[in-house]
Amino acid sequence: MTGRSPTLAELSVGDEVVRRQITVDRARLVRYAGASGDFNPIHWNERVAVAVGLPGVIAHGMWTMGAVSSVVADWAGDPGAVLDFQVRFTRPVPVPDPGSATVDVVATVGVVDVAAGTVRLDLTATCDGVRVLGKAQAVVRL
């Protein structure tokens, strides 16, 4: 379904509709900190992150959530079509230096509600095979 918005008629429960990788590096974390105002040093300072028990610098949870939600908005073809988006944060996304971390996102159809004109997408978001978001779901009007 590339290049056009999906329709309810072509979707069934269990269909995988999106599979994408999102990459994040330390420079992106610094830009996100500036945009969000979240300058917590666990998102840019290795020493501080390790001192508080983290594996190292981690991505902002809200960055992770936003990046995953953008996958849904892109699939829908209109960010305004996303009626509801919710997640539980389960694990941090460690961001190495040098290098980057990759968040793998898969969206499958959980519910098709023809009467409401909506579809619920169930999302998995993992980093290095570990789930970083739990109960990630989006309701999209098509």
Instruction: Please name the fold of domain 8-141.
Output: Thiol Ester Dehydrase; Chain A (3.10.129)
Cis, bond preceding 98 (omega within 30 deg of 0): yes
Query: For residues 17 and 98, what is the distance between their CA atoms, to the nearest angstrom?
Result: 33
pLDDT in tens, 69-107: 999 999 999 999 999 999 999 999 999 999 999 999 999
What's the length of the chain?
142
pTM of the predicted model as reported, rounded to 2 decimal places: 0.92
The answer to whether residues 132 and 89 touch, using CB atoms and an 8 Å cutoff, is yes
Domain positions in the chain are 8-141
Q: What angle (nearest 5°) sits at the alpha carbon of residue 103, between those of residues 97 and 105?
A: 170
The answer to whether residues 96 and 56 touch, using CB atoms and an 8 Å cutoff, is yes
